[in-house]
Structure 1
Amino acid sequence: MLSSLIFDMDGVLVDSMTYHAQAWIQVSSEVGVNVTPADIYEVEGANHRVGLEWLFEKAGRELDPDMYDSILERKIEIFTSIADVKPFEGMVECLSVLKKDFKLAVVTGSERVTVESFMDQFFPGIFDVIVSGEDVHYGKPYPEPYLKAVEMLGIGKEECIVVENAPMGVESAKKAGLYCVGVPTYITPDKLSEADMILNDHASLQAYLYNILEKGHLCDNS
C-alpha cells in the first residue's frame, strides 16, 4: 500500500538550480576552478561537500579541507544575493491535495537553513519529514539520505516513491531500494536512465501524482 511520497527539492519543488549554478561558478572562479552549468547539473543533488570535491577533482585540483567552510559560506552568500526562487507552477496546489492522503518528505543536498526557508515560504505545513544535506554523513549519490527519510517516516520501502530530477538523486534512491520517478528539469532524459519511470515535465508529474491519488497505487505513464 502506497503511503508516502518523497521529493527532491531543487528542480522538483522549486526552480532554483540556475541560481545555484551561477553561485557555484562564481565562487569556483574566485578560487581558480573553472566549471560550467552542465558540470553543476551533473552533481546536482549531492551535498555541498561531495559536490565541491567532485568539481575540484574535475578541474584537476585537490580541495584543501581548510577551504571548505569559507567556500561554502561564500557560495551561500552569492546564492542568497541573486536567487529569485519560485515553486514550479502547480506544485503547491498539487502537494496540498496529496497531503490529505499521503505522508510527504523532502530529501535534498541543500543546507538546512535554505531548505527551511523555502519550505516556510512556499510549502508551510506540507511536509512531515525534511532531510537536508547536513543531516547525513554520506549524501547523494549514496543511499543514506533516502534511507533516513524512510526511517523517519516510519514506513517500509515498498510504501513510497521518490521524485527526482538529478542523476545523483536517482542513483541514491535506487541504491536505497526505492521506486524512483525522474523529471529531467535541467538535463536530457537519458541522464536519468536509472529511474523506474521518466516523465516529460512538471505538468506530466502532477498528472501522474493526481492519478496515484485517484487509484491509491503506483501507475504506469499511460
Structure 2
Amino acid sequence: MLRSIIFDMDGVLVDSMPSHADAWIAVSKEVGADVSREDIYEIEGANHILGIQWLFEKAGRQVEPHLYEEIKRKKVEFFSANASITPFAGIAECLSDLKRHYSLAVVTGSDRYTVNSIMEDFFPDVFDTFVCGEDVHYGKPYPDPYLKAVELLGVRKDECIVVENAPMGVESAKKAGLFCVGLPTYVPPSRLSLADLVLHDHPALYEYFKKLILSGN
C-alpha cells in the first residue's frame, strides 16, 4: 500500500533550473570553463560538489579540490541574488490533496539554505522531511539520498513513489529500489527511460495522483 511520495524539487515542484543554469554558467566562466545549459540539465540533481566535478570534467577544465567550496559559495550567492522561481501550475493543489493521504518528502541536490527559502515561500508546512545536497556524501545518481529519505519517512521501499525530472535523479531512485515517475520538464522524455512511468507534464502528474487516491492506493 502506498504511504509516501518523494519529490525532487527543481524542475518538479518549482521552475528553477534556468536560474540554476545561469548561476553555474556565470561561476564557471570565472574559472575558465565553458559549459552549456544542456550540460547543466544533464547533471541536475547532483549535489554541488559532485556537480562541480562532473560539469568541469565535461568542459575539459580541471578544478583543484580546495576551490570547490568557493565555487559552491559563489554559485549559491549568484542564484540567491538573481533567481526567478515559480511553482509549476497546479502543484500546490496537487500537494494539498496528497498531504491528506500520504506523507511527503523532498530529495534534492540543492543546498539546505535554498531549499528552506523555497519551501517557506511556496510550500510551508507541506513536507514531512527533506534530504538536501549536503545531507549525503554521495548524491544523485547514487542511491544514498533516496535511501535516506525512506529511512527518515519510516516506510518500506514498496510503499513509496518518487517523482523525478532529471536523468541522474531517476537513476538514483531506481538504484535505491523505488518506483519512479519521470516528468520531462527540461530534457526529452527519452532521457528518463529508466523511470517506471514517464508522464507528459504536470497536469498529467496531477491526474495520475488523483487516480491513485481514488483507488485507495
Using the size of structure 2 for normalisation, the TM-score is 0.98
- Give unpaired runs (5+ residues) of structure 1: 218-222
- Structure 1 segments of 4 or more deviating over 4 A? none
Q: Which residue of 1 aligns with 2:213?
A: 213
**More displaced 10-residue stretch of structure 1: 56-65 or 39-48:** 56-65
Q: Which amino acid aligns with 1:61?
A: R
Deviation at 1:152, TM superposition (A): 0.3
Residues 35-66 of structure 1 show CA distances to partners (whole Å, capped at 9, x for unaligned) of 00000000000111111100111112222111
Aligned amino acid, residue 31 of structure 1:
V
CA distance in 2 between partners of 1:75 and 1:11 (Å): 18
Q: Which residues in structure 2 correspond to 1:36-185 (within 5 Å)?
A: 36-185=36-185
> Equivalents in 2 of 1:138, 1:80: separation in Å?
24
**One-letter amino acid of the structure 2 residue matched with residue 183 of structure 1:** L
CA distance in 2, matches of 1:88, 1:216: 26
Aligned to 1:197: 197
Cα displacement (A) at 1:214: 1.2
Distance in 2 (alpha carbons) for counterparts of 1:118 and 1:28: 24
Which deviates the most, 13-22 or 207-216? 207-216
One-letter amino acid of the structure 2 residue matched with residue 199 of structure 1: L
| 1:26 partnered with 2:17 | no
Q: Count the aligned residue pairs.
A: 217
Residues 147-195 of structure 1: per-residue CA shift (max 9 Å, x gap): 0000000000000100000000000000000000000001100000000
- Deviation of 1:128 after TM superposition, in Å, equals 0.4
Alpha carbons 2:80, 2:114 under 8 Å: kept: no
Query: Is the counterpart of residue 14 in structure 1 residue 19 in structure 2?
Result: no
SS of corresponding position for 2:104: strand
Per the TM alignment, residue 73 of structure 1 is displaced from its structure 2 partner at its CA by: 0.9
Q: Is the 8 A contact 2:115 2:132 kept in 1?
A: yes
Secondary structure of 2:9 counterpart: coil
Q: Secondary structure at the match of 1:140?
A: coil
How far the C-alpha of 1:216 sits from its partner, in A, is 2.4
Identify unmatched segments of 5+ residues in structure 2. none
* TM-score, scaled to structure 1: 0.96
Specify the SS of the correspondent of 1:104. strand
How far 1:80 moved relative to its partner?
Answer: 1.3
- Counterpart CA distance in 2 for 1:97 and 1:195 is 24
Greater shift, 65-74 or 138-147, is seen at 65-74
Kept in 1, the 8 Å contact 2:32–2:61? The answer is no
Q: Matched residues, percent identical?
A: 63
